Amino acid sequence: MLSPEEMLTFYYPDIYGNCPIDLELLGYKLTTHHLFSVPMKLKDLLKDELSDRELDHLIQSYDLVGDIAITQIPAELTHREKLIGEAIIATNKRIRVVAKRDGFYQGDFRTIPLTIIAGEDRKETEHVEFGVRLQLNPELVYFSVRSSTERKRIAELVEPGEDILVMFSGIAPYPLIINKFSQARSIVGIESNPLAHNYGTRNLTLNKVKNSIELFWGDVTDVVPEIDRKFQRIIMPLPTASRDYLPVALECLSPGGTIHFYDFQPVGSYSASLDTINHLCRDSGRQVLSSSPVVCGHTSPGINRVCLDTLIG
């Protein structure tokens, strides 16, 4: 098993200071050094270049996608962004590009504008997640490094011989992780962003996957009726709109199957999500047999990203 230091070679704290994996759950007793050595190093590198006031505004952590560090530069530090970007590169020999967020996730494809502030002039990279290789351009497709352990969690729930549907499959991280860590019989992914779909098909080839995964380009509501199959497990990793596609998921879910329904809810409150599932199940003549909420991230202070693992009869 990797040491905490080796883990943090791949998993840096995110922009909120949260580590995407809980190393304590893996049996490690962590210290401040383990979780914050990299951000403190960045601040130390800049302490002679930035004023005390500027250091107070500095966001010390970043998301690491392949060899691209994606950070946030407050308005008070835009005149210092190149200096900050170069310092980030100096903290980790794996980093070749530093890009800043130039807006928010937006549009049907949930993409975010990025501006390179240091390093090589490119936005395409290859990210490795639990041994799975994923090529992508993080400006053109949606991909969250913070969901890595959630994808692994779902894969480990899959029973041998299950047929799996991944809605909104993007560049295919869920299908590939499930394929690697389960004995699923078949995995289908559906993605509407043509660029993400193209990356997904490329990633199947990159990981030498031939017959166990099928990827379809198009809207879920159009593709599901066309493929006309039943699935024992359906993953719906689109918290902003999963409820809109739940009727389609129920149509192709086998009796006794499981839906992993993602939603945004206030901390400690999941009743609205479960009410949505119960209501739509009743409309479809289905029944919720059990449902367990799993917190798998957050979108803002007080708002969690939650997955309801729901068994439906």
Report how far residue 179's alpha carbon sits from residue 132's, in angstroms, rounded to the nearest whole number: 10
* Percent of the chain surpassing pLDDT 70: 87
198 burial type by CB count under 10 A (0-12 exposed, 13-18 middle, 19+ buried)? middle
pLDDT value of residue 168: 98
Average pLDDT of span 150-165: 98
List, in sequence order, every beta strand (DSSP E) within the chain: 63-65, 68-71, 97-101, 114-119, 125-129, 132-136, 163-167, 186-191, 213-217, 231-236, 253-266, 288-300, 303-312
pTM for the whole thing? 0.86
Q: Which residue has the tokens 């070749």?
A: 96
pLDDT value of residue 236: 98
pLDDT tens for each residue of 5-64:
333 333 333 333 333 433 333 333 333 333 333 444 888 899 999 999 999 999 988 999
pLDDT value of residue 299: 78
pLDDT value of residue 118: 98
Architecture of the domain delimited by 4-123: 2-Layer Sandwich (3.30)
Report how far residue 164's alpha carbon sits from residue 169's, in angstroms, rounded to the nearest whole number: 12
- The closest of 96, 106, 174 to 140, measured between CA atoms, is 106
Bridge partners, residue 266, by sequence: 303
Query: Given the DSSP bridges, would you call strands 132-136 and 125-129 parallel, antiparallel or unpaired?
Result: antiparallel
| 248, 215 Cβ separation under 8 angstroms | no
Domain with CATH 3.40.50.150 in the chain: 143-312
Between 146 and 269, where is the model more confident?
146
pLDDT value of residue 268: 82
pLDDT tens for each residue of 278-296:
999 999 999 999 999 999 9
Domain with CATH 3.30.300.110 in the chain: 4-123
Domain spanning 143-312: which superfamily? Answer: Vaccinia Virus protein VP39 (3.40.50.150)
pLDDT value of residue 252: 97
**φ and ψ at residue 171, rounded to 5 degrees:** -85, 10
pLDDT value of residue 10: 37
Report how far residue 313's alpha carbon sits from residue 257's, in angstroms, rounded to the nearest whole number: 7
